[in-house]
Amino acid sequence: MRSSFQRWVIVAPPGKRSGRQSERGAAIILYWAFGLFLLLPLGLATFEVWRYVTASSQLQFDLDAAALCGTANLLRQHNSQGVAAIETNAITAAELILNRNTVLGTTLVCRGTTLDSVPPVHSLSAGQVALNATFVDSNRAPIQPGEDGVKGLRLTAEYGYKPFCGPFIGLGCLPIQVTSEGGIPPIDLVLCFDVSASMDDGTNITTVERFWDGAAVAYQVPQSGSGNLLNVVKPAVDGTKVNVVGPENLSMLSSPLNQGTLYFSESQSSPIKGLRARVSGLPPLELGAPPGNFNPANPNSTYINGHDPASSGNAVTDLVVNLDGNSSFGGWTDPSTGLQFPNVQTLVEAARGNLNTYESMQQSLAMGNVQPAWLPVTAPNAMYQNVYFARAQQLAQPLAAAKVAAIEILRALDQNTVLHAGLVSFSDYIGSDPGSTWGSGAGATTYFIDSNWVPGGTGNFPLPLVPLDAGQPNIIGLLKNLPSADSWLCPPAFAQAGGGGGGGASSIAQLISTLVATGRSNVSAALNEAIAELTNPAMCRPDAEKVILLISDGKPDAPGGSITAAQDCYAAAKNAARQGIKIVAIDVATTSDTNHEAFLEQVATLSKGYYISGSTQAQLNVALQKILTQLVALR
């Protein structure tokens, strides 16, 4: 007996089927036909589509990886390689990455790369990839291979896709074409540069007590009076307030915060006061301008102005920078002018300006017909004081290293992207324009040596602020001539005005070179100014990466105390993160202090930026790599 199933599926002979059975048989045939010829193909088609989409997606990722690798290889240092060699490396790197990847489990085989502006159509076998590379400029427009100005790499890959059902329906390979473009976005960068007093604490100096010994001007270096400024002054915490060039603030030698025993003669009461020179009271006035505590009316007296120099062994009248850079001065000759600085005496007199003319030299040294034996043969010379201070500024550490770091990083960034830069220098506060000076703020001084030694003269110590300018043109051409270029990184309006701190400097590079250390460290003011500029649509570009380059040597101590100041900085760093601004903090401190390291690292971390310790060339390279490689992105 047949089951109902058998009756359904076994087609009965014609004429023996009931009408209902015929309908049922037809229905089941349709049912299976539907299943076999519609649902199955539909399922297969769905799978085929999914497979194609997956293959396209995987190929896109593989090509993105190749484009990123190729673009990263386009980054280069100034004039290090020819453009053609760099481009060859980029393509090689892209191919290597592509060949290591897979699509649907099959390793890709790159059969070569063309450099056509329009990717050609290939006939590819399954799994093969044909790559086409196009180099683009900052506007993403194609440029010819070997041409300068490459800012990105556009890759087009054509892949031979073999459909799963291809063999059954006689379908060959289908092409999948995807495109990926890597590049470095334009960068809007504000350089926050610390010029607080501790920024020259790593300088090797000599402190000197200059006095008249009854026969000639004598020079006495106090015990432990030479070496690293930090070690000479011995501050208990943080850095010193004493500086190696003006404003020297020599009174701060005897600050209660220091553990050293030295003191500035003119910050003491009489009779030690007056050791540097007698400027008050009755004649006789000193010769020179003024020369020191020499009493021409009684030249044989060792008790000038009622004071015996021998009884004040820790008194300091002068602080000079060891122009040879060593902790103990051994002599130095300026290579460009030939001026000789064979001894500490020359340093002291050159810094005072006494070697500029014969008259000032004769008067200040109370010279008769016989010159002191230590006097160099190149004296007098009108350049002595300038050469001394120019060299002293170059040796003021870590300030000088920070200057070089800032300029080098800006130059390297500009080489590889379209850079717009601003400058915010800070100490107790920040400036307001490129010509701002430190002495114009509340509590600031303009005295070059010390407020207790007015005859030491005055100075306008630069605290420039160069605002970011969204409309500033590409500056890459100007940078190629560094360091001789005068208009480097300079907003056109400022260049035309000819302004600038420190004597009319007219570029950021030159403004940086003029900076001297003084005052406290108000990091938060600089960060807030930088954030304001980087979020101001009139000052920044909407498509640019926003970066703050913070170069500092330690913890802030303004406004308020160090704790309040640090909290302000953390708040600013969090605000920067919210605005998509990364802070790259470069720590140039000369000492290893976990407090300031932790502070700068925290600021960088809170902003999702980077912290780099040190200012050596190798450490700067790490900073640069972190900035640049993290910016390499797909467009």
Partner 1 sequence: MSSGRGGCDRIKGMIAMDVALGAMTLSVCAAACVCSVLLLVGYNTIDTACRDAARAAGTADSTSAAMAAGLLACSSHRTDGFWLSQPKLDQSSFRFAQAMASVAPYVSTTTSCKIRLPALRIALQSDLDSVSIRRQYVFPAIALIQQTPTVTAIDLSSLIGPNNIAVPDVSGVIPGVGNSYSADTSE
Site for partner 1, residues 187 to 246, rule: CB under 8 A:
245-246
Complex with partner 1: residue 517 or 589, whichever CB lies closer: 517
Shortest Cβ distance from residue 628 to partner 1 (Å)? 6
Regarding 52 and contact with partner 1 (CB under 8 A), the answer is: no
Site for partner 1, residues 428 to 457, rule: CB under 8 A:
448-449, 454-457
Shortest Cβ distance from residue 280 to partner 1 (Å)? 4
CB 441 within 8 A of CB 429: yes
Shortest Cβ distance from residue 457 to partner 1 (Å)? 3
Select from 143, 184, 250, 412 the one that contacts partner 1 (CB under 8 A).
412
Site for partner 1, residues 614 to 633, rule: CB under 8 A:
617, 620-621, 624-626, 628-630, 632
Shortest Cβ distance from residue 1 to partner 1 (Å)? 11
Interatomic CA distance for residues 141 and 162, integer angstroms: 34
β-bridge pairing 109-114 and 128-136: parallel
Site for partner 1, residues 392 to 411, rule: CB under 8 A:
393-394, 400, 403-405, 407-409, 411
Site for partner 1, residues 370 to 389, rule: CB under 8 A:
385-386, 389
Number of residues that bind partner 1 (CB under 8 A): 103
Shortest Cβ distance from residue 567 to partner 1 (Å)? 30
**Binding segment for partner 1 among 88-96, 256-264, 522-530, 599-607 (CB under 8 A)?**
88-96
Cα distance between the two ends of the chain: 74
Complex with partner 1: residue 74 or 572, whichever CB lies closer: 74
Shortest Cβ distance from residue 484 to partner 1 (Å)? 7
Phi (first) and psi of residue 340, to 5 degrees: -100, 140
Shortest Cβ distance from residue 257 to partner 1 (Å)? 25
Site for partner 1, residues 456 to 515, rule: CB under 8 A:
456-459, 461, 482-484, 502-505, 509-510, 512-514
The residues that bridge with 179 in the sheet, in sequence order, are 156
Secondary structure in 3-state letters for 427-496: CCCECCCCCCEHHHCCCCCCECCECCEHHHCECCCECCEECCCCCCCCCHHHHCCCCCCCCCCCCHHHHH
CB 387 within 8 A of CB 349: no
Select from 360, 425, 521, 528 the one that contacts partner 1 (CB under 8 A).
360
Site for partner 1, residues 264 to 323, rule: CB under 8 A:
277, 279-280, 285, 288-290
Interatomic CA distance for residues 402 and 399, integer angstroms: 5
CB 513 within 8 A of CB 418: no
Select from 26, 29, 36, 96 the one that contacts partner 1 (CB under 8 A).
96
Residue 398's Cβ-count burial label (10 Å; 0-12, 13-18, 19+) is buried
Number of continuous H segments (helices) and E segments (strands) in the chain: 18, 22
CB 365 within 8 A of CB 335: no
β-bridge pairing 204-212 and 581-587: unpaired
Complex with partner 1: residue 170 or 503, whichever CB lies closer: 503
Select from 1, 2, 3, 16 the one that contacts partner 1 (CB under 8 A).
3
Shortest Cβ distance from residue 535 to partner 1 (Å)? 26
- Element at 191 (helix H, strand E): strand 187-194
Shortest Cβ distance from residue 409 to partner 1 (Å)? 6
Interatomic CA distance for residues 480 and 473, integer angstroms: 15
Site for partner 1, residues 558 to 617, rule: CB under 8 A:
617
